A and B are shown apart, each in its own frame.
Chain A
Amino acid sequence: MGSGRRIMIGAAPDEADVWQALVAEHGTPLLVFDPAVLERQYHRLSNALPGVELHYAVKAHPNEHIVRTLDALGCGFDVASAGEMDLLMDLKISGRRTIHTHPIKKDREIRDALRFGATTFVVDNLDELAKLVPYRERIGILLRISFRSESATVDLSRKFGCAIGEVAGIVAAAGKLGLHIKGLSFHAGSQCEHAGQHVEAIARCRQLMVDIGKSTSVPLSTLDIGGGFPADYRLTGIDIDAWCGPLRKALADLPGDWHLLAEPGRYLVAPSVTSITTVTGKSERHGVTWYYLDDGIYGSYSGQIFDHTVYPLQILKTGETRRSILAGPTCDSIDIIAEDVQLPELGIGDLVIGHQMGAYTAATKTRFNSLPDARLVCRESPS
């Protein structure tokens, strides 16, 4: 999707005023979180997936304002580390609505999760299953299955997940160990263009769970459909209700007493955070104008490397455009946000706005060059 970057030149005066006012108050680099957008996304997705308990994938953006906003909406949480649980504990959020989904865990991590109150764990192999035996009286286990994804940007089934053929054996082994496998989980990928992979995975899980249910005394009844719900990085207006249509149809075929979970991250938070960075220097080099910004790929734009995502950019100025490069603040030559883009001439102090920057942006920032982090500020909720 590298070619799909949207660049918007110019802004409505009142829109520009909002960004300028935030910068006047807080400086840059800045991330602006809008709770109203997150609330809207949550409602859209929960309406599109009735009967599915949403668990926000905290890794997408482990930020207290974001977590607080989702907690107030009754959203659950998907955590993968002690640090993520600490964030929830600091906000006094009960582990009861949290699932621990990292397939590989240290014993310490399992104990921390139990003390936090998360009792659902994910495994994908027998070694991992064995680690849970001391805690078998307290926990429920989801077995993660691998479905390789063609359409997703990030294939999450390469690193984790057991093969379909292994499922029955692992469930039987768990039974012998006195462990309760309560269902299956899968990750169809991240930023999926369509729900085809999900639909296929649901159908296969359904068959597996029904078949295994027939042969064991403990039925499998929880299905975690993971994430993959897309963010609108091209600003084409993704209709999540339409996107989820085939998924709803597939879920409707499942027995009514099954528990359905999903782990959305990107879809929920991507549009709720906007990056603002300032031009701090410029230079003409080989006929191209270089602009050096105070945030870059070692900071908020780290998702361009780790998440293979390019974000829609906006320049507040208008005017005749020229070949330009937007570079980040570090000394590294890899720190370039956008190359060969046509921009109006910018001056030092001008702003560059990055949209859809809530997911896997600040989450993967580094400390390189000991540069300051972009600060996250919360916009007043209109409600």
Chain B
Amino acid sequence: MKHFKETLYDSLYQEFRIDKLYFESRTDHQHLMIFHNARLGRVMTLDGIVQTTEADEFIYHEMMSHVPLLAHGQVRHVLIIGGGDGAMLREVLHHPVAQVTQVEIDQAVIEMARQYLPNHSAGAYDDPRLQLIIADGMNFVRDTDDRFDVIICDSTDPIGPGEVLFSEDFYAQAKRCLAPGGILVTQNGVPFLQPDELNTTAQRMGPHFIDSSFYCAPVPTYYGGHMAFGWGTDNRTLRHVELPVLQARFEKSGLQTRYYNPAIHQAAFALPQYMLESLAGRD
């Protein structure tokens, strides 16, 4: 195959030229590819859907890590579910956290990403603060006695291996293992083309948190405009941290970012009208 054609939608698709195929595997009903594209750098796809590209992964990973961590302000223990490519871990470890627990279902994904997407983890897997657990994320949140200040659910799409991470049971169990005032963030698709995913998450997550909402960032290769991130916490104030506070935390952190800044952080919680209407109109 000389081109990758995404199979996410029937009536439209994006197509990437494959300039060099680094890796392709087809195991257990799962088709994984890593290839180079002249414009996007290395691209990873799973079951015909773009998972991450070197060119724009920073937007997704900065927004899913820095927003909850800087909103919280005193994060010591973070749980990452999924995220086998290592980029979420890389961003989280830029913060002065005491420990990061990463639960990835497939060791092979980590090995493959370290080899073929080395810039994603950029050495993060060697950090002594990491506790890496190869297990099902759902089982982990059901069984663990640990409590986390932030849980980041860096899942695949709802149809596929990450399916259970979109279930109501998962949100309930994730809530159970949050420390008081802790925050759960989840990847939630592209609401312009996937409004059902937004509404379903709102329905399933809502009952388990005092404050449940979404924030947004446009990730160009997640075709269709804004990507939504689910946000669940029992501390209502965390969604409205004032700009000077965020600014101070950001400066203190010394983070080098390419998308995130405190103004973007605040603005990301403002949802476009079509999303608000979609959420308001749900059953």
Contacts and interface: CB of A to CB of B under 8 A. Distances in A.
Contacts of A111: 159
**Which range contains the number of A residues in contact with the other chain?**
20 to 34
Interface string B195-213: 1110000000000000000
A92 interface: yes
A171 to B, nearest CB: 16
Given A116-B31, A120-B10, 15 more contacts: A89-B31, A90-B26, A92-B26, A92-B31, A95-B7, A96-B5, A96-B48, A115-B159, A115-B160, A116-B29, A119-B7, A119-B10, A135-B159, A136-B196, A137-B193
A353 B186 CA distance: 62
A182 B47 contact: no
Nearest to A110: B159
Which of B5, B9, B10, B24 has the largest number of chain A CB atoms within 10 A?
B10
A196 interface: no
Interface of A: 86, 89-90, 92, 94-96, 111-112, 114-120, 134-140, 180, 182
B9 A137 contact: yes
Nearest first, the 4 closest Cβ-Cβ pairs linking A and B are A117-B7, A140-B10, A119-B10, A117-B48
A135 B8 CA distance: 11
B7 A96 contact: yes
Contacts of B160: 115
6 contacts: A94-B7, A118-B7, A120-B10, A136-B196, A138-B9, A182-B11
B1 A114 contact: no
A44 B97 CA distance: 67
Contacts of B5: 94, 96
Nearest to A95: B7
A154 B193 CA distance: 42
Interface string B153-187: 00000011000000000000000000000000000
A95 B1 CA distance: 12
Nearest to A118: B7
A116 to B, nearest CB: 7
B93 to A, nearest CB: 32
A180 B10 contact: yes
B168 to A, nearest CB: 15
B10 A115 contact: no
Nearest to A91: B26
A135 to B, nearest CB: 7
Contact of A89 (B1, B11, B26): B26
A119 to B, nearest CB: 4
Contacts of B24: 92
A140 B13 CA distance: 13
B8 A95 contact: no
B253 interface: no
B247 interface: no
Which residue among A112, A114, A116, A135 has the maximum number of chain B CB atoms within 10 Å of its CB?
A114
B48 A89 contact: no
Interface hub of B29, B30, B193, B197 (most chain A Cβ within 10 A): B29
B194 interface: yes
Could you say which of B26, B48, B197 has the most chain A C-beta atoms within 10 Å of its C-beta? B48
B163 to A, nearest CB: 8
Contacts of B196: 134, 136-137
A12 to B, nearest CB: 42
Contacts of B48: 94-96, 115-117
A304 B130 CA distance: 64
B155 to A, nearest CB: 15
Contact of A116 (B10, B47, B193): B47
B7 A180 contact: no
A116 B195 CA distance: 22
A92 B1 contact: yes
Contacts of A120: 10
Nearest to A71: B1
Nearest to B194: A137
A138 B9 CA distance: 4
Contacts of A180: 10-11
Contacts of A139: 10
A110 to B, nearest CB: 9
Q: Which of A115, A118, A140 has its CB near the most chain B CB atoms (within 10 A)?
A: A115
Nearest to B46: A115
Contacts of B195: 137
A319 B48 CA distance: 60
A114 B159 contact: yes
Nearest to A120: B10
Nearest to B193: A137
A180 B9 CA distance: 12
B193 to A, nearest CB: 6
A140 B31 CA distance: 22
Interface in B200-231: none
A92 B18 CA distance: 14
A115 B29 contact: yes
B39 to A, nearest CB: 21
B47 A140 contact: no
A119 B9 CA distance: 7
A140 B11 CA distance: 7
Interface in B1-38: 1, 5, 7-11, 13, 24, 26, 29-31
Contacts of A96: 5, 7, 13, 48
Nearest to A133: B196
A317 B241 CA distance: 92
Contacts of A112: 29
A116 B160 CA distance: 10
B197 to A, nearest CB: 8
A115 B11 contact: no
A115 B9 contact: no
A169 B13 CA distance: 30
Contacts of B11: 140, 180, 182
Nearest to B196: A137
